[in-house]
Structure 1
Amino acid sequence: MSRITILLAEDNRINREGLRELLLSEADLHVIAEAENGRQAVSLTAQLCPDVVIMDVSMPLINGLEATRQILLSKAETKVLVFSSHSDDVYIEQARAFGASGYLIKQSDALMLPDAIRGAFHGEPFICPSKLTHSKRP
């Protein structure tokens, strides 16, 4: 079975470690790198070509939405799943406009993340179910 390679882009070290630990228990998911700011996420994606980038929105140097735009301009085959504490529709719509494959709110059930990653990898758009009533479906 081939593994889905993942880059974690999250400025909060504790959140990054928690995400890594959660994903370690998934045999088909493999974290290959971590970025602590948007600029590093863009650079590491260009170097390593992960299958999926888990992207926080509020990050230093380049915010996660702009980093998503830059990544997908140069690495269209990479999927970006935005994972953010921002639940406002404006963030979801901007992420989708920039080409993100999905948007998951950090306050969601953590067990949704592995399935959202798999869905993004397989080209299935994902929006946190709690937002579907407020946002148009992809």
Structure 2
Amino acid sequence: MSEEVIKILDALTEKFGLAIDWTSANVLPYLQQLCGKYVTYEIATSVVWMLIGICLLFIGKYVIGKAKYCWGKYKEDWRSDYDMATVGLGILAGCVIVGGIIMILYQTFDIVTCITFPEKVIIEELQSVYSSLK
């Protein structure tokens, strides 16, 4: 167990008025199991967010199709209001696609971090919890 994790956990338990006996045979195996579950949880939530990002890409593709339809209608009758619909749908499609790509990239890096360096994820979470208790 990393010394930094133990220091952060000691500080957290001190805030709650608890004391952990690190020499106990039960504490470290349970803590390792808990950390493993947290890393698995992080990977699972990242996969769900990636699926949402992929859905956003499909929604963007659908909106692009609708924008092309509106552009075709506008070219047929230039006095119609399809030009504004084309511009609005084009902007919406661009925003949705960019948002989906950013979401997928961010979650991909989160999964890579969880797999290669799970201690980093745990330490960052413990630090955020500790800083919120201050």
Q: Same fold (TM over 0.5)?
A: no
Q: TM-score, normalised by structure 1?
A: 0.22
Of Structure 1 and Structure 2, which has the larger fraction of its residues in helix? Answer: 2
Higher relative contact order (CA 8 A, sep 6+): 2
Of Structure 1 and Structure 2, which has the larger fraction of its residues in strand? Answer: 1
**Based on CA coordinates, which of the two structures has the bigger radius of gyration?**
2
